[in-house]
Every structure is written in structure tokens, then in C-alpha cells.
Amino acid sequence: MMNGLTKSQLDSVFYPKSVAIIGASNREGSFGRLFLQGFINMGFKEIIPVHPREKELLGLKAYPNVKEIPGQVDLAVLLVPPDGAIKVVQDCADKQVKGIILFTAGFREKGEEGRKAEEEIVAIIRKAGVRLIGPNTNGLYSPAARLLTLPGGLTAGGLTAEVGGISVFAQSGSFNDYLTQVLVSKNIRFNKVVSCGNEADLSAANFLEYFGEDPGTKIIAGYLEGILDGTRFYEMAKEISRTKPILIWKGGLTETGARAAMAHTGKLAGSRQVWEAMFRQAGILGMGSFEEITDTLMAFSWLPMPRGRRVAIVSGMGGTNVGTADNCVSMGLEIAKLSQPILKRLAEILPPVGASATNPADVGVAMLMTPQLYGETIKLLASDENVDMLISITAPDCPASVASIVDAVKAINKPLYVSLFEIRGLIESQAKLLLDNHIPVCTDSKRAALALNRMVQYREYLESL
């Protein structure tokens, strides 16, 4: 169990009642204005801008120093130059704020002098009992608290205050900016998102532990380059993964990638073998790319768990069926052997020629004329006890076939992932229809198979315990 003090401190960080923005500005094009406007746009209630001279910023009363703010400040967001940071952190400590997000970069990741300044900051906050995220962070997205500091999200404006079950920690700020924007645009919602930064105080392990105990968090995702306390992280992950899937993309697995990680966050990335063994034993699902995370998060968010590794493939494209079967088998899935009664029924509903009444099932070119065959075939195959999950490959040039898939999904209780051919101008509305119905969709059947395979991997891990 997390100690009670740390838990209540993290609660204050993720659900602050009042936020001071130190370095707020009304100058067009400045970060200070972007952040202030972002808080206003999200509907956060108690925003207190801090500015050395201005008395008012964007209609809000401003103070020259955090210490002069009357009443409690839960969270201080610091947008100040590196050389002024120590002084401002000391002010925050004096004010007894509960948490600090130090956006400022230019500390440990920039060499010896930066490391010393970072240590000085840590000494100040430890003494005052204040917790700190950063430095060199993009901060938070906590929709239940209407809290958003991710610069990408602030600029684009697509993020909402709607709450979901995914929580994310990342040793990369922009990772969070784009993971949230991509997935929110696909109707996925988040619970808590945090950019770890240099982890001078709060680290990935703290966030993992907090998310593990957090009742609102159902799925945990992360981007890591290195871990400060590997053993503790491993033990927590092993415990948490029993109840919540943990998806982690580890950057710097190759020697060259490790050098890039060093330039990025100053972390020793460690050897591939060690990481892979640790992930496997802790039940962590290792991700191979940004896109694999988005695909897999859609699967865990919306699909029932597969009961085994036997997949059925349904499309109107014989060639793509064959190639997709190859890709499924290569990654360890099995092509389900259909039972005799299902095979017989399939042969009855599919056209006698130009189709394949087997698995993979090819509804044939007839789908252009009788598109409901797609949905009927899906329902039939899903009713076979030998089928654990389904991949349906279709094209947006036939909206009726996509609509029949949407109908079929309502009638089955097995995971189905859709891959749509990426015909620009046609795909946008068909992908929207699927996502509006919480059906995961991608534009590459290999990616669909990979995401389903991660669910299988997680289930098999749980069964091995």
C-alpha cells in the first residue's frame, strides 16, 4: 500500500482546488498566455495568475508573488526561466503549496550545473514537505479536475473534461500531448495523464503506484526510458498487473536508441534483454511503437477479453485474407478451425462461387450487391465455440457493409477489431461510424492482429499466475 501522506499529496496534485500560474502572461504567442487561457477554456474554477507587474490578466486578479496570494494554493504551475526557478520554488515552499509542476527545462539533462540546481530545488521542497513534478515536464491532464497543462492539447484545443479509465505516465512530455490528442479524437477518454520530466522528486514508480490504487484507473499506459528504482517498480507492476493491464513503450532498447534517450532525458536506458525479462515477469505488455499503444488501448477499452488465441477473419478480399492469416500466425495467433455445423451454415449463406466459406471467410465480390453478408458472416463465426476473436477487413467504398458490421457487433460478445482500407475521402465517415459505436478500427490488419494479440498475452499471463 502507498503511504497515506504520499497518496493525499498526489490527490492534491491531480485534483487541486486552486492553481497559481507563475509566469502567466497576456502577451500573444507566449506560453504564459497559452497556459492561462487553457485553464480558463477548460473551465477550471480557482485560477490565480502570478506576474511581477500586471494587476489583472485575461480578467483574473494577478499577484506579484505566490506568497501574497490569500488562502490556500494547492498546485503551483511554474513557467519561469531556469535561473529564476530556485527562488520561485522557495517562495512556493514558504507559501506551503501542496504541489509544484516545474515546466522549466535546463537542469540535470543539461549537465553538471543543471544537476546542482536541481538538487538545490529538491532540498527546498523536501524540507517544506512539498511534492514536485519535473523539472522539464509537460505536466498534467486530469479531466475530472478540469486540469490541463499539456501544451499540445492547449494549442489544439481538442481535449475535453470527460473522464475515462486510462491513466498514463510518460518520460516524455510530447508523448502525452499526442497520445491524448490522437485517442480523444477517436472517442477514448482518460483518467489521469502525467509527464514525469526529470523525476527530481515524484517519479514513474510513484505514479504507477498511485494509478494502481486509484479506483478510477482501469488501464495503465506508459512511455519509459529508464527507471530510478527498478526493483520497486518491478514489484509494484507485478502486483498491479493482476487487476489492471499495464502497457509500456520502452524507448532506447537499441544501443543507438539508448544514446538518443540519453540526449533526451539523460537516462541510462539499460539492456534490451533485462527490460524484456522484467516486463514479461511483471506482466507488463511491452509496446513496439506509439501506434501500437493507441491500437491496444482501444482494444482494452472497448472489447471483451478473448478466451483464447483462435482468430476468425472476415473480409471480401481473398488475397488480404491470406496475407492477414500469415501475419496472425507469425505473431502467435491461431486461425480458428470452424465446427462442422458452422461451416455448413456458412456455405449456405455465402455465394457458391467467388467466395470462401471457411476461415478466413471471403464474402466475395457479392458484398458490393449484398453487403449485409458481412454482418451475417461475423455473427455466424462469432457463434462458433472455436472462435475466440474476430478481425474484419473491409473498405469504406461500401458503407452498407460497415453498417452491417456495426449491427453485428451489438449481437456478439467476442472481441472484433476492424481494419479499413485507407481510401481518403471515403474512410473518414466510416471510421467515425465505427468509433462512435466504440468499435476499434485501424487501417492495417497487422495492427489489428497485434492489438488483439496483446489482449491474449495479458489473459495468458493472468492464467499463468
Q: Find the shortest distance in angstroms from Cβ 453 to its own copies.
A: 15
Query: Which of 58, 60, 86, 365 is close enough to bind its own copies by CB under 8 A?
Result: 365
Contact 100, 125 (CB under 8 A): yes
Q: Find the shortest distance in angstroms from Cβ 45 to its own copies.
A: 26
**Using CB under 8 A, which residues numbered 46 to 75 contact its own copies?**
none
Q: How far apart are CA 284 and CA 249, in angstroms?
A: 10
Q: Find the shortest distance in angstroms from Cβ 157 to its own copies.
A: 9
Q: Decide whether 130 or 328 has the Cβ nearer to its own copies.
A: 328
* 122 CB neighbour count, 10 Å cutoff: 14
**Position 86 contacts its own copies (CB under 8 A):** no
Q: Find the shortest distance in angstroms from Cβ 406 to its own copies.
A: 17
Q: Angle CA(136)–CA(142)–CA(148) in degrees, nearest 5? A: 60
Q: Decide whether 302 or 421 has the Cβ nearer to its own copies.
A: 421
Q: Decide whether 213 or 255 has the Cβ nearer to its own copies.
A: 255
Q: How far apart are CA 104 and CA 197, in angstroms?
A: 10
Q: Decide whether 24 or 130 has the Cβ nearer to its own copies.
A: 24
**Region binding its own copies by CB under 8 A among candidate stretches 7-15, 56-64, 83-91, 254-262:** 254-262
**Position 436 contacts its own copies (CB under 8 A):** no
Cell numbers found for residue 462: 493472468
Contact 423, 271 (CB under 8 A): no
Residues sharing a CB contact under 8 Å with residue 296, sequence separation 6 or more, in sequence order: 247, 285, 287, 450, 451, 454, 455
Q: Decide whether 6 or 187 has the Cβ nearer to its own copies.
A: 187
Q: Decide whether 84 or 304 has the Cβ nearer to its own copies.
A: 84
Q: Decide whether 73 or 188 has the Cβ nearer to its own copies.
A: 188
Place of cell 468499435: 439
Q: How far apart are CA 395 and CA 423, in angstroms?
A: 8
Query: Which of 312, 335, 342, 346 is close enough to bind its own copies by CB under 8 A?
Result: 335
Q: How many residues touch its own copies (CB under 8 A)?
A: 91
Q: Decide whether 208 or 431 has the Cβ nearer to its own copies.
A: 431
**Position 360 contacts its own copies (CB under 8 A):** yes
Q: How far apart are CA 218 and CA 166, in angstroms?
A: 6
**Using CB under 8 A, which residues numbered 261 to 320 contact its own copies?**
261, 263-265, 288-291, 294, 316-320
Q: Find the shortest distance in angstroms from Cβ 300 to its own copies.
A: 18
**Position 170 contacts its own copies (CB under 8 A):** yes
**Using CB under 8 A, which residues numbered 189 to 218 contact its own copies?**
none
Query: Which of 84, 127, 423, 460 is close enough to bind its own copies by CB under 8 A?
Result: 423
**Position 82 contacts its own copies (CB under 8 A):** yes
Query: Which of 2, 144, 163, 260 is close enough to bind its own copies by CB under 8 A?
Result: 260
Tell me the HSE value of 363 on the side-chain side, using a 13 A CA sphere. Answer: 27
Q: Decide whether 63 or 175 has the Cβ nearer to its own copies.
A: 175
Q: Find the shortest distance in angstroms from Cβ 247 to its own copies.
A: 13
**Using CB under 8 A, which residues numbered 107 to 136 contact its own copies?**
110, 136
